[in-house]
């Protein structure tokens, strides 16, 4: 039986071919079939067309290899989503400008990510910068904001992608 870490190794080049990153793979059981949940991410986000294209490529790869064996499986491909915790350096770098709630042994605050240089993140908390090592955090989640991101962090000037 294939493991999630083996699938990550095999599927990373498939996902990278679309200029995206393979964020995570999990395998679970549902009835008599396995569910392979693949999460992708990208520096400029991931749109639905990209998810569909990556899903087709992964499906073709799995169908033409014997890695999944004879047991049936269901493939689900998606993105991290705003409620996913920040657990990897790439997550922090991709969320500069966003409001984040963090907790650890010596910290429990909400602040805006203003910079990231692995392993340190700079958070603006009450207009004061606070540098935190991400290894010291036990929890970090993006806070959903229903107002426009500050201009210095927005991508309004970037050209639209197809």
pTM of the model: 0.82
CB atoms within 10 A of CB 123: 22
Task: Quote the CA–CA distance of 27 and 153 in Å, as a whole number.
Answer: 36
- Residue 10: the pLDDT is 97
User: What pLDDT sits at residue 154?
Assistant: 65
DSSP-derived 3-state class of residue 158? coil
Whole-number pLDDT of residue 82 = 86
Name the DSSP class of 146. Answer: S
Structure tokens at 9: 């190794």
Domains, the chain, ordered by start: 4-79 (3.30.300.70), 89-153 (2.30.30.520)
Looking at residue 8, what DSSP letter applies?
Answer: H
- pLDDT tens across the length of the chain (162 residues): 899 999 999 999 999 999 999 999 999 999 989 999 999 999 999 999 999 999 999 999 999 999 999 889 999 999 998 889 999 999 999 999 999 999 999 899 999 999 999 999 999 999 999 999 999 999 999 999 987 766 777 665 555 555
d(CA 77, CA 124): 34
């Amino acid at each position: 039986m294939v493991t999630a870490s083996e699938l990550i190794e095999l599927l990373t080049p498939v996902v990278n071919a679309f200029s995206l990153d393979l964020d995570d793979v999990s395998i679970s059981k549902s009835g008599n079939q396995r569910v392979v949940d693949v999460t992708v991410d990208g520096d400029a986000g991931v749109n639905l067309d990209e998810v569909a294209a990556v899903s087709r490529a992964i499906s073709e790869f799995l169908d033409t290899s014997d890695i999944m064996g004879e047991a049936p499986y269901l493939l689900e491909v998606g993105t991290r989503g705003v409620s996913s915790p920040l657990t990897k350096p790439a997550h922090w770098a991709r969320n500069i400008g966003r409001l984040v709630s963090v907790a650890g042994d010596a910290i429990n605050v909400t602040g805006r990510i203003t910079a990231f240089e692995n392993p340190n993140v700079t958070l603006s908390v009450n207009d004061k910068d606070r540098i935190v090592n991400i290894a010291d955090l036990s929890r970090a989640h993006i806070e959903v904001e229903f107002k426009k991101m500050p201009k210095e962090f927005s991508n309004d000037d970037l050209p639209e992608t197809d």
